[in-house]
Chains A and B, each alone.
Chain A
Amino acid sequence: MSLVGHQAPPIFRRGPTPLVRLIVFVSICLAMMVADIKYRYVDVLRQGLSVVTYPLQMAAAAPADVVLNASRYFATLLEVQLENADLRRQLLEAAQSLLRFEHLQRENEELRGLVGMAQRVPVISVSAEILYNAPDPFTRKVILNRGAQHGIQPGLAVVDAHGVIGQVTRVYPVQADVTLLTDKNQAIPVEVARNGLRGVLFGTGQGQLEMRFVLVGADIRAGDTLLTSGLDGVFLPGLPVATVSSVEREGQAFASIACEPAAGIERSVQVLVLGRQELPPPPPVPGAAGSSGGR
Protein backbone atom coordinates (compact mmCIF):
# COMPACT_ATOMS: atom_id res chain seq x y z
CA MET A 1 0.00 0.00 0.00
CA SER A 2 1.40 3.31 -1.03
CA LEU A 3 1.39 6.29 1.27
CA VAL A 4 2.01 8.78 -1.49
CA GLY A 5 -0.45 11.67 -1.21
CA HIS A 6 -1.36 10.88 2.36
CA GLN A 7 -0.54 13.54 4.88
CA ALA A 8 0.96 12.64 8.19
CA PRO A 9 -1.53 12.91 11.07
CA PRO A 10 -1.39 16.27 12.81
CA ILE A 11 0.27 14.85 15.91
CA PHE A 12 3.49 14.38 13.97
CA ARG A 13 3.20 17.61 12.03
CA ARG A 14 3.87 20.30 14.61
CA GLY A 15 6.30 22.37 12.57
CA PRO A 16 9.34 23.87 14.25
CA THR A 17 9.73 23.29 17.98
CA PRO A 18 8.23 25.86 20.35
CA LEU A 19 11.62 27.22 21.32
CA VAL A 20 12.53 27.89 17.70
CA ARG A 21 9.19 29.60 17.12
CA LEU A 22 9.67 31.67 20.28
CA ILE A 23 13.06 32.87 19.11
CA VAL A 24 11.71 33.72 15.65
CA PHE A 25 8.75 35.69 17.03
CA VAL A 26 10.80 37.47 19.68
CA SER A 27 13.34 38.59 17.12
CA ILE A 28 10.54 39.84 14.82
CA CYS A 29 9.08 41.80 17.75
CA LEU A 30 12.42 43.31 18.71
CA ALA A 31 13.17 44.26 15.13
CA MET A 32 9.74 45.90 14.87
CA MET A 33 10.20 47.85 18.08
CA VAL A 34 13.54 49.20 16.92
CA ALA A 35 12.10 50.02 13.48
CA ASP A 36 9.16 51.80 15.11
CA ILE A 37 10.85 53.71 17.91
CA LYS A 38 14.05 54.70 16.13
CA TYR A 39 13.14 54.89 12.47
CA ARG A 40 9.35 54.97 12.10
CA TYR A 41 9.48 52.29 9.41
CA VAL A 42 6.28 50.49 10.34
CA ASP A 43 3.84 53.39 10.23
CA VAL A 44 2.20 51.96 7.12
CA LEU A 45 1.48 48.67 8.91
CA ARG A 46 0.23 50.61 11.91
CA GLN A 47 -2.15 52.68 9.81
CA GLY A 48 -3.40 49.58 7.99
CA LEU A 49 -4.11 47.70 11.20
CA SER A 50 -5.65 50.79 12.81
CA VAL A 51 -8.53 50.39 10.37
CA VAL A 52 -9.26 47.05 12.08
CA THR A 53 -8.98 48.37 15.63
CA TYR A 54 -10.78 51.68 15.08
CA PRO A 55 -14.38 50.36 15.35
CA LEU A 56 -13.45 48.37 18.47
CA GLN A 57 -11.84 51.44 20.00
CA MET A 58 -14.91 53.53 19.29
CA ALA A 59 -17.20 50.86 20.72
CA ALA A 60 -15.03 50.60 23.84
CA ALA A 61 -14.79 54.36 24.32
CA ALA A 62 -18.55 54.95 24.17
CA PRO A 63 -19.55 53.47 27.58
CA ALA A 64 -16.58 55.07 29.32
CA ASP A 65 -17.61 58.39 27.80
CA VAL A 66 -21.13 57.98 29.20
CA VAL A 67 -19.76 57.25 32.69
CA LEU A 68 -17.38 60.20 32.61
CA ASN A 69 -19.98 62.64 31.31
CA ALA A 70 -22.92 61.41 33.37
CA SER A 71 -22.75 64.53 35.52
CA ARG A 72 -23.13 66.68 32.44
CA TYR A 73 -26.37 64.92 31.45
CA PHE A 74 -27.89 65.57 34.87
CA ALA A 75 -26.80 69.19 35.14
CA THR A 76 -29.55 71.44 36.46
CA LEU A 77 -31.14 74.25 34.50
CA LEU A 78 -29.65 76.81 36.88
CA GLU A 79 -26.11 75.58 36.30
CA VAL A 80 -26.62 75.65 32.56
CA GLN A 81 -27.98 79.20 32.72
CA LEU A 82 -25.03 80.35 34.84
CA GLU A 83 -22.58 78.71 32.47
CA ASN A 84 -24.39 80.26 29.54
CA ALA A 85 -24.14 83.75 31.00
CA ASP A 86 -20.47 83.18 31.71
CA LEU A 87 -19.84 82.03 28.13
CA ARG A 88 -21.70 85.05 26.72
CA ARG A 89 -19.51 87.35 28.78
CA GLN A 90 -16.37 85.56 27.59
CA LEU A 91 -17.57 85.72 23.99
CA LEU A 92 -18.07 89.48 24.28
CA GLU A 93 -14.59 89.95 25.67
CA ALA A 94 -13.10 87.71 23.00
CA ALA A 95 -15.00 89.57 20.26
CA GLN A 96 -13.54 92.86 21.44
CA SER A 97 -9.98 91.62 21.38
CA LEU A 98 -10.65 89.96 18.04
CA LEU A 99 -11.71 93.27 16.54
CA ARG A 100 -8.53 94.86 17.82
CA PHE A 101 -6.58 91.86 16.54
CA GLU A 102 -7.94 92.20 13.01
CA HIS A 103 -7.10 95.86 13.01
CA LEU A 104 -3.58 95.13 14.25
CA GLN A 105 -3.12 92.35 11.71
CA ARG A 106 -4.03 94.66 8.84
CA GLU A 107 -1.69 97.28 10.21
CA ASN A 108 1.04 94.66 10.59
CA GLU A 109 0.63 93.51 6.99
CA GLU A 110 0.83 97.08 5.73
CA LEU A 111 3.92 97.81 7.81
CA ARG A 112 5.58 94.58 6.67
CA GLY A 113 4.75 95.56 3.10
CA LEU A 114 6.33 98.97 3.63
CA VAL A 115 9.51 97.52 5.09
CA GLY A 116 9.62 94.84 2.39
CA MET A 117 9.58 91.83 4.76
CA ALA A 118 7.99 88.54 3.75
CA GLN A 119 4.38 88.20 4.81
CA ARG A 120 3.64 85.84 7.65
CA VAL A 121 2.97 82.30 6.51
CA PRO A 122 -0.67 81.23 6.42
CA VAL A 123 -1.93 79.17 9.33
CA ILE A 124 -3.75 75.84 9.55
CA SER A 125 -6.23 75.50 12.38
CA VAL A 126 -8.49 72.52 13.02
CA SER A 127 -10.67 72.21 16.10
CA ALA A 128 -10.70 68.77 17.65
CA GLU A 129 -11.75 66.88 20.72
CA ILE A 130 -9.59 64.68 22.92
CA LEU A 131 -11.08 61.20 22.85
CA TYR A 132 -9.06 59.68 25.67
CA ASN A 133 -5.60 59.40 27.18
CA ALA A 134 -3.51 56.74 25.47
CA PRO A 135 -3.24 53.86 27.95
CA ASP A 136 0.46 53.32 27.27
CA PRO A 137 2.03 54.08 30.68
CA PHE A 138 5.47 54.78 29.23
CA THR A 139 4.53 57.98 27.45
CA ARG A 140 2.11 60.87 27.90
CA LYS A 141 -0.17 60.92 24.89
CA VAL A 142 -3.77 61.68 24.07
CA ILE A 143 -5.85 60.64 21.08
CA LEU A 144 -7.69 63.27 19.02
CA ASN A 145 -10.84 62.64 17.00
CA ARG A 146 -9.41 64.31 13.89
CA GLY A 147 -6.90 62.83 11.49
CA ALA A 148 -5.27 63.08 8.09
CA GLN A 149 -8.68 63.40 6.41
CA HIS A 150 -9.31 66.64 8.32
CA GLY A 151 -5.96 68.09 7.34
CA ILE A 152 -3.92 67.20 10.40
CA GLN A 153 -0.22 66.61 9.81
CA PRO A 154 2.49 65.34 12.13
CA GLY A 155 4.33 68.15 13.89
CA LEU A 156 1.44 70.57 14.39
CA ALA A 157 0.97 72.23 17.77
CA VAL A 158 -2.10 71.47 19.88
CA VAL A 159 -3.46 74.25 22.09
CA ASP A 160 -6.37 74.61 24.48
CA ALA A 161 -7.91 77.85 25.72
CA HIS A 162 -4.92 78.66 27.96
CA GLY A 163 -1.89 77.53 25.99
CA VAL A 164 0.03 74.78 24.25
CA ILE A 165 -0.63 71.24 25.43
CA GLY A 166 1.47 69.22 23.01
CA GLN A 167 2.40 68.27 19.49
CA VAL A 168 0.84 65.88 16.96
CA THR A 169 3.26 62.98 16.60
CA ARG A 170 1.34 60.39 14.63
CA VAL A 171 -1.57 60.71 12.26
CA TYR A 172 -4.10 58.04 11.36
CA PRO A 173 -6.84 58.53 8.77
CA VAL A 174 -9.44 59.69 11.31
CA GLN A 175 -7.41 59.95 14.52
CA ALA A 176 -4.19 61.51 15.68
CA ASP A 177 -1.79 60.92 18.58
CA VAL A 178 -0.68 63.98 20.49
CA THR A 179 2.44 63.80 22.64
CA LEU A 180 1.87 66.07 25.64
CA LEU A 181 4.48 68.57 26.76
CA THR A 182 4.89 66.62 29.99
CA ASP A 183 6.24 63.58 28.09
CA LYS A 184 9.87 62.85 28.83
CA ASN A 185 10.86 63.00 25.16
CA GLN A 186 8.98 66.14 24.23
CA ALA A 187 10.76 69.47 23.81
CA ILE A 188 9.53 72.91 22.78
CA PRO A 189 11.55 76.06 22.10
CA VAL A 190 10.35 78.99 24.20
CA GLU A 191 11.19 82.55 25.09
CA VAL A 192 10.54 84.55 28.22
CA ALA A 193 7.71 87.02 27.54
CA ARG A 194 9.30 89.72 29.71
CA ASN A 195 12.68 90.00 27.97
CA GLY A 196 12.80 87.58 25.03
CA LEU A 197 15.36 85.25 26.63
CA ARG A 198 15.33 82.00 24.64
CA GLY A 199 15.50 78.45 25.88
CA VAL A 200 14.16 74.95 25.38
CA LEU A 201 11.45 73.47 27.56
CA PHE A 202 11.47 69.73 28.27
CA GLY A 203 8.93 67.45 29.91
CA THR A 204 10.03 65.61 33.02
CA GLY A 205 7.49 62.79 32.90
CA GLN A 206 5.88 63.76 36.21
CA GLY A 207 3.45 66.42 35.00
CA GLN A 208 6.10 69.14 35.33
CA LEU A 209 8.23 70.99 32.82
CA GLU A 210 11.88 71.97 33.00
CA MET A 211 13.73 74.69 31.08
CA ARG A 212 17.24 73.56 30.26
CA PHE A 213 20.40 75.19 28.97
CA VAL A 214 19.76 78.60 30.52
CA LEU A 215 22.93 80.07 32.05
CA VAL A 216 23.04 80.65 35.78
CA GLY A 217 23.36 84.40 35.31
CA ALA A 218 20.43 84.75 32.92
CA ASP A 219 17.62 87.14 33.76
CA ILE A 220 14.80 84.79 34.62
CA ARG A 221 12.75 84.53 37.81
CA ALA A 222 9.79 82.75 39.26
CA GLY A 223 6.52 83.99 37.79
CA ASP A 224 7.84 84.69 34.30
CA THR A 225 5.60 83.63 31.43
CA LEU A 226 7.10 81.46 28.69
CA LEU A 227 5.82 81.74 25.11
CA THR A 228 6.69 79.68 22.05
CA SER A 229 9.52 81.37 20.20
CA GLY A 230 8.66 80.03 16.75
CA LEU A 231 12.33 79.51 15.98
CA ASP A 232 11.70 75.85 15.22
CA GLY A 233 9.61 76.70 12.17
CA VAL A 234 6.87 74.38 13.42
CA PHE A 235 5.14 76.13 16.28
CA LEU A 236 3.56 79.52 15.79
CA PRO A 237 5.35 82.19 17.85
CA GLY A 238 3.72 83.75 20.88
CA LEU A 239 1.56 80.92 22.20
CA PRO A 240 1.65 80.74 26.00
CA VAL A 241 3.32 77.55 27.24
CA ALA A 242 4.19 77.73 30.92
CA THR A 243 5.03 79.91 33.90
CA VAL A 244 8.30 79.60 35.78
CA SER A 245 7.66 78.25 39.27
CA SER A 246 11.19 78.12 40.70
CA VAL A 247 14.75 78.91 39.67
CA GLU A 248 17.81 77.37 41.35
CA ARG A 249 21.19 78.84 40.55
CA GLU A 250 23.55 76.63 42.51
CA GLY A 251 26.57 74.75 41.30
CA GLN A 252 26.56 74.03 37.58
CA ALA A 253 26.79 76.30 34.60
CA PHE A 254 23.08 76.01 33.88
CA ALA A 255 20.28 77.04 36.21
CA SER A 256 17.66 74.42 36.96
CA ILE A 257 14.31 75.97 36.22
CA ALA A 258 11.03 74.25 37.08
CA CYS A 259 7.94 75.36 35.20
CA GLU A 260 4.21 74.89 35.54
CA PRO A 261 2.26 74.32 32.29
CA ALA A 262 -0.15 77.12 31.43
CA ALA A 263 -2.76 74.88 29.84
CA GLY A 264 -4.69 72.15 31.63
CA ILE A 265 -2.42 69.66 29.93
CA GLU A 266 -3.93 66.46 31.24
CA ARG A 267 -7.45 67.80 31.75
CA SER A 268 -8.57 69.71 28.64
CA VAL A 269 -11.14 68.26 26.24
CA GLN A 270 -11.65 70.79 23.44
CA VAL A 271 -8.47 71.71 21.63
CA LEU A 272 -7.27 73.49 18.51
CA VAL A 273 -4.59 72.08 16.21
CA LEU A 274 -2.44 74.92 14.91
CA GLY A 275 0.45 75.08 12.53
CA ARG A 276 2.08 76.73 9.57
CA GLN A 277 0.87 75.76 6.14
CA GLU A 278 4.29 74.60 4.93
CA LEU A 279 6.13 72.43 7.39
CA PRO A 280 9.87 71.86 7.24
CA PRO A 281 10.69 68.47 5.71
CA PRO A 282 12.17 66.36 8.57
CA PRO A 283 9.45 64.85 10.80
CA PRO A 284 10.16 64.57 14.55
CA VAL A 285 11.74 61.28 15.61
CA PRO A 286 11.03 60.26 19.22
CA GLY A 287 13.77 59.00 21.48
CA ALA A 288 16.55 60.54 19.40
CA ALA A 289 18.59 61.92 22.31
CA GLY A 290 15.82 64.08 23.72
CA SER A 291 15.52 66.19 20.62
CA SER A 292 12.24 64.73 19.51
CA GLY A 293 9.66 67.39 19.73
CA GLY A 294 9.50 70.96 18.62
CA ARG A 295 12.04 71.72 16.00
Chain B
Amino acid sequence: MQPTNRSRRILLPVKLWFIWFSLIVALGLNFVPTGRLPAVPDFVALVLAFWCIREPLRIGMGSAFVFGLLVDIGHGAAMGQHALSYVVLVYLASALSRRMLWFPPLLQALHLLPVLLLAQALMVLARLLAGAEFPGWWYFLSSFSGAALWTPLTFLLLLPQYQPVDRDDNRPI
Protein backbone atom coordinates (compact mmCIF):
# COMPACT_ATOMS: atom_id res chain seq x y z
CA MET B 1 0.00 0.00 0.00
CA GLN B 2 1.19 3.46 -0.80
CA PRO B 3 1.97 5.59 2.26
CA THR B 4 -0.40 8.53 2.44
CA ASN B 5 0.71 12.03 3.10
CA ARG B 6 -1.55 12.55 6.08
CA SER B 7 -0.95 16.22 6.63
CA ARG B 8 -1.75 17.21 3.07
CA ARG B 9 -5.37 17.81 2.30
CA ILE B 10 -6.02 19.27 -1.08
CA LEU B 11 -5.35 22.92 -0.43
CA LEU B 12 -5.84 26.12 -2.34
CA PRO B 13 -2.62 27.86 -3.31
CA VAL B 14 -1.37 30.14 -0.58
CA LYS B 15 -1.79 33.88 -0.96
CA LEU B 16 1.44 35.81 -0.70
CA TRP B 17 -0.12 38.65 1.29
CA PHE B 18 -1.33 36.18 3.88
CA ILE B 19 2.21 34.90 4.49
CA TRP B 20 3.49 38.42 5.13
CA PHE B 21 0.42 39.32 7.14
CA SER B 22 0.89 36.31 9.44
CA LEU B 23 4.57 37.14 9.87
CA ILE B 24 3.79 40.73 10.83
CA VAL B 25 1.11 39.62 13.29
CA ALA B 26 3.65 37.23 14.81
CA LEU B 27 6.12 40.11 15.07
CA GLY B 28 3.48 42.13 16.91
CA LEU B 29 2.86 39.20 19.28
CA ASN B 30 6.60 38.97 19.95
CA PHE B 31 6.60 42.65 20.91
CA VAL B 32 3.88 42.24 23.55
CA PRO B 33 5.72 43.17 26.74
CA THR B 34 5.47 40.14 29.00
CA GLY B 35 8.32 41.11 31.28
CA ARG B 36 10.26 38.13 32.52
CA LEU B 37 7.41 35.66 32.21
CA PRO B 38 8.91 32.26 31.35
CA ALA B 39 7.68 30.04 28.50
CA VAL B 40 6.43 32.78 26.21
CA PRO B 41 6.79 31.18 22.77
CA ASP B 42 8.71 32.89 20.00
CA PHE B 43 5.88 33.44 17.51
CA VAL B 44 8.06 34.74 14.71
CA ALA B 45 10.25 31.63 14.87
CA LEU B 46 7.19 29.39 14.71
CA VAL B 47 5.52 31.18 11.81
CA LEU B 48 8.81 31.39 9.89
CA ALA B 49 9.38 27.66 10.39
CA PHE B 50 5.81 26.96 9.34
CA TRP B 51 5.97 28.86 6.06
CA CYS B 52 9.42 27.64 5.25
CA ILE B 53 8.21 24.04 5.63
CA ARG B 54 5.05 24.66 3.58
CA GLU B 55 6.40 27.16 1.03
CA PRO B 56 10.18 26.78 0.84
CA LEU B 57 10.32 28.81 -2.37
CA ARG B 58 8.69 31.88 -0.84
CA ILE B 59 10.10 32.05 2.68
CA GLY B 60 13.79 31.42 3.10
CA MET B 61 16.83 32.62 4.92
CA GLY B 62 16.53 36.16 3.55
CA SER B 63 13.18 36.79 5.19
CA ALA B 64 14.36 34.99 8.34
CA PHE B 65 17.30 37.37 8.48
CA VAL B 66 15.15 40.50 8.07
CA PHE B 67 12.57 39.42 10.65
CA GLY B 68 15.37 38.43 13.02
CA LEU B 69 16.76 41.96 12.83
CA LEU B 70 13.32 43.45 13.50
CA VAL B 71 12.87 41.21 16.57
CA ASP B 72 16.34 42.20 17.78
CA ILE B 73 15.41 45.86 17.67
CA GLY B 74 12.07 45.37 19.38
CA HIS B 75 13.66 43.29 22.14
CA GLY B 76 16.62 45.58 22.63
CA ALA B 77 18.84 42.55 22.00
CA ALA B 78 22.21 42.52 20.27
CA MET B 79 21.82 43.22 16.57
CA GLY B 80 21.93 39.93 14.63
CA GLN B 81 21.24 37.67 17.58
CA HIS B 82 17.73 36.58 16.60
CA ALA B 83 18.69 36.84 12.92
CA LEU B 84 21.38 34.21 13.49
CA SER B 85 19.00 31.92 15.30
CA TYR B 86 16.22 32.30 12.71
CA VAL B 87 18.53 31.72 9.76
CA VAL B 88 19.74 28.47 11.27
CA LEU B 89 16.18 27.53 12.22
CA VAL B 90 14.92 28.11 8.69
CA TYR B 91 17.83 26.16 7.20
CA LEU B 92 17.15 23.15 9.40
CA ALA B 93 13.38 23.40 8.97
CA SER B 94 13.68 23.45 5.18
CA ALA B 95 16.02 20.48 5.36
CA LEU B 96 13.36 18.65 7.38
CA SER B 97 10.38 19.88 5.39
CA ARG B 98 10.14 16.97 2.93
CA ARG B 99 10.06 14.54 5.81
CA MET B 100 7.91 16.49 8.26
CA LEU B 101 4.92 16.87 5.99
CA TRP B 102 4.37 13.11 6.02
CA PHE B 103 3.51 13.21 9.71
CA PRO B 104 0.44 14.49 11.56
CA PRO B 105 0.94 17.85 13.35
CA LEU B 106 1.77 16.32 16.75
CA LEU B 107 4.69 14.37 15.35
CA GLN B 108 5.71 17.40 13.30
CA ALA B 109 5.96 19.31 16.58
CA LEU B 110 8.26 16.59 17.91
CA HIS B 111 10.46 17.08 14.85
CA LEU B 112 10.47 20.80 15.39
CA LEU B 113 11.28 20.80 19.10
CA PRO B 114 15.00 19.97 18.79
CA VAL B 115 15.33 22.53 16.00
CA LEU B 116 13.78 25.26 18.17
CA LEU B 117 15.98 24.26 21.10
CA LEU B 118 19.08 24.36 18.93
CA ALA B 119 18.16 27.83 17.64
CA GLN B 120 17.78 29.07 21.23
CA ALA B 121 20.99 27.39 22.34
CA LEU B 122 22.84 29.19 19.54
CA MET B 123 21.52 32.53 20.79
CA VAL B 124 22.56 31.76 24.36
CA LEU B 125 25.99 30.63 23.21
CA ALA B 126 26.55 33.76 21.13
CA ARG B 127 25.55 36.06 23.99
CA LEU B 128 27.52 34.15 26.62
CA LEU B 129 30.62 34.43 24.46
CA ALA B 130 29.99 38.18 24.34
CA GLY B 131 29.92 38.27 28.14
CA ALA B 132 26.23 38.40 29.02
CA GLU B 133 24.69 36.72 32.05
CA PHE B 134 23.14 33.26 31.70
CA PRO B 135 19.37 33.75 31.62
CA GLY B 136 18.56 30.52 33.50
CA TRP B 137 17.22 27.20 32.29
CA TRP B 138 13.63 28.41 32.22
CA TYR B 139 14.63 30.32 29.12
CA PHE B 140 14.43 27.09 27.10
CA LEU B 141 10.82 26.52 28.17
CA SER B 142 9.73 28.80 25.34
CA SER B 143 10.76 26.13 22.80
CA PHE B 144 8.49 23.61 24.51
CA SER B 145 5.53 25.97 24.59
CA GLY B 146 6.24 26.79 20.95
CA ALA B 147 6.17 23.12 20.00
CA ALA B 148 2.92 22.71 21.94
CA LEU B 149 1.41 25.55 19.88
CA TRP B 150 2.32 23.88 16.59
CA THR B 151 -0.99 22.04 16.08
CA PRO B 152 -3.31 25.03 16.62
CA LEU B 153 -0.93 27.17 14.59
CA THR B 154 -1.03 24.74 11.66
CA PHE B 155 -4.82 24.80 11.68
CA LEU B 156 -4.96 28.59 11.95
CA LEU B 157 -2.44 29.32 9.21
CA LEU B 158 -3.94 26.81 6.78
CA LEU B 159 -7.50 28.03 7.38
CA PRO B 160 -7.61 30.36 4.34
CA GLN B 161 -6.44 27.49 2.14
CA TYR B 162 -9.18 25.11 3.31
CA GLN B 163 -11.98 27.17 1.77
CA PRO B 164 -13.21 25.85 -1.59
CA VAL B 165 -13.32 28.37 -4.43
CA ASP B 166 -16.98 27.68 -5.06
CA ARG B 167 -19.09 25.04 -3.45
CA ASP B 168 -19.95 22.17 -5.80
CA ASP B 169 -22.20 19.39 -4.49
CA ASN B 170 -21.04 16.91 -7.12
CA ARG B 171 -17.38 17.43 -6.34
CA PRO B 172 -16.93 17.97 -2.61
CA ILE B 173 -13.40 18.61 -1.47
Hey, which bits of chain A sit against chain B, CB under 8 A?
Answer: 10, 18, 21-22, 25-26, 28-33, 35-38, 42, 45-46, 49-50, 52-53, 56-57, 59-61, 63-64, 131-139, 141, 143, 170, 177, 184-185, 205, 287
Q: Which residues of B contact A (CB under 8 A)?
A: 24, 27-36, 40, 57, 60-62, 64-65, 68-70, 73-81, 83-84, 87-88, 91, 94-95, 126-127, 130-133, 135-136, 139
Contact between B36 and A133 (Cβ–Cβ < 8 Å)?
yes
Q: Is the CB of A56 within 8 A of B74?
A: yes
Q: Which of A22, A170, A185, A205 is most buried by chain B, counting CB atoms within 10 A of its CB? A: A22
CA distance in complex: A57, B163 (Å): 33
Given the known inter-chain contacts A29-B65, A33-B84, A60-B29, please indicate yes or no for A42 contacting B79, CB distance below 8 A: yes
Do the beta carbons of A52 and B70 come within 8 Å of each other?
yes
**Is B34 a contact of A64 with CB atoms below 8 Å?**
yes
Docked-complex contact A136 and B77, CB < 8 angstroms: yes
Q: Which residues of A contact B24 (CB under 8 A)?
A: 56
CB atoms of B87 and A26 under 8 A apart: yes
Q: Are A135 and B34 in contact (CB under 8 A)?
A: yes
Give chain B's interface secondary structure class: helix
Do A143 and B32 touch across chains, with their CB atoms under 8 A apart?
no
CB-based nearest B residue for A35 = B79
* Contact A53 B126, beta carbon cutoff 8 Å: no
Residue of A nearest to B24 (CB): A56
A18 touches B95 (CB 8 A): yes
Given contacts A22-B87, A45-B79, contact A56 B27 (CB under 8 A): yes
Contact, CB under 8 Å: A59 / B79: no
| A139–B132 CB distance below 8 A | yes
Q: A25-B61, A184-B132 are in contact. Are A138 and B73 (CB under 8 A)?
A: no
Q: How far is the CB of B136 from chain A (nearest CB, A)?
A: 8
- The chain A residue sitting closest to B31, CB to CB, is A60
| Contact of B132 with A49 in the complex, beta carbons under 8 Å | no
- Bound-complex Cα distance A132 to B34 (A): 8
Which residue of chain B is the closest to A132 with respect to CB atoms?
A: B33
Evaluate contact between A36 and B80: CB separation under 8 angstroms. yes
- CA separation between A63 and B35, bound complex, in Å? 14
Check A136 against B75 for contact (C-beta < 8 Å).
yes
Q: Are B61 and A60 in contact (CB under 8 A)?
A: no
B79 and A60 within 8 A (CB): no
CB distance from A38 to the nearest CB of B (A): 8
B31 and A57: CB pair below 8 A?
yes
| Complex partner residue of B76 from A29, A52, A134, A287, CB under 8 angstroms | A134
Q: Are A184 and B75 in contact (CB under 8 A)?
A: no
Asked whether B32 lies within 8 Å of A64 as measured between CB atoms, the reply is: yes
Give, as a whole number of angstroms, the nearest-CB distance from A291 to chain B.
12
Q: Is the CB of B130 within 8 A of A136?
A: no
Find out whether the CB atom of B33 lies under 8 angstroms from the CB atom of A135: yes
Is A33 in contact with B33, judged by CB distance below 8 angstroms? no
The 5 A-B residue pairs whose C-beta atoms are closest, nearest first, are A132-B33, A32-B80, A134-B76, A137-B135, A29-B84
